[in-house]
Amino acid sequence: MLSAALMKDSNLIDQIFLHTSIPSFIEPIREFLDDWTIDEEDDNVEHQPIYEQYNSILYLICFCVHRFGRRSTLDDPDGPGFVRTWLREFSKAKWLDMLSDEDSNAIGTWISALFDGDGISDDLVRYVLTGIGGNCRMSPPYKWLLISTTLFSQSVSAYRQGVLQLQALKDGFECSSPSKQY
């Protein structure tokens, strides 16, 4: 995938921007992510590759925004669309009492799957797609990204309050420390 290749050597991004403006490169990518859809009726869709592809492309945009600034990277940084909104608000976890019932239920379901169950299944991903908002046309990466900051914040808070053990937190988010080799 092109975005992954560019992220391996950020000098390539600098070279691209010697020949084109940052927005003329990023805006079509942003539009592509804003318009991203999947076939909601297809039960054979594997959702993990969808998340990986979407997040890889979004990470490229985040890198450019971090490196060059939101105002320099996007034509209209305060405009509508998922990517612009997420870039403005991605780090803001929401209080549970401020969430809609659907989002609150989704976070509870994800916490159970991460820390009490067998992990994330495609059925759980489909729940985020269809169980929240009924007939919404929002693709799974959108919905996941909208609740991920709150989910992470709630999980860390549960650890700090002693409700969740450190190993369970690490296992839930599949964190592992690299083994030392001498």
The pLDDT confidence band at residue 3, using thresholds 50, 70 and 90, is confident
- What does the pLDDT look like over 32-58, one tens digit per residue? 999 887 665 666 667 677 778 888 899
**CA atoms lying within 13 Å on the CB side of residue 106:** 28
**String of DSSP letters for 109-160:** HHHHHHHTSS---HHHHHIIIIISSSS----HHHHHHHHHHHHHHHHHHHHH
Alpha helices in the chain (DSSP H): 2-8, 10-16, 22-34, 47-68, 70-73, 82-89, 101-115, 122-126, 140-160, 166-172
Write the pLDDT tens digit of every residue in 61-71. 999 998 999 88
User: Six-digit token pair at 139?
Assistant: 């693709």
pTM of full prediction above 0.95: no
What is the predicted pLDDT for the residue at 180? 40
Residue pLDDT, tens place only, 100-155: 887 888 788 778 877 776 666 666 665 555 444 444 444 457 777 878 888 888 88
Instruction: Give the whole-angstrom CA distance, residue 107 versus residue 153.
Output: 11
70-97: pLDDT as tens digits: 889 888 988 898 899 888 877 688 888 8
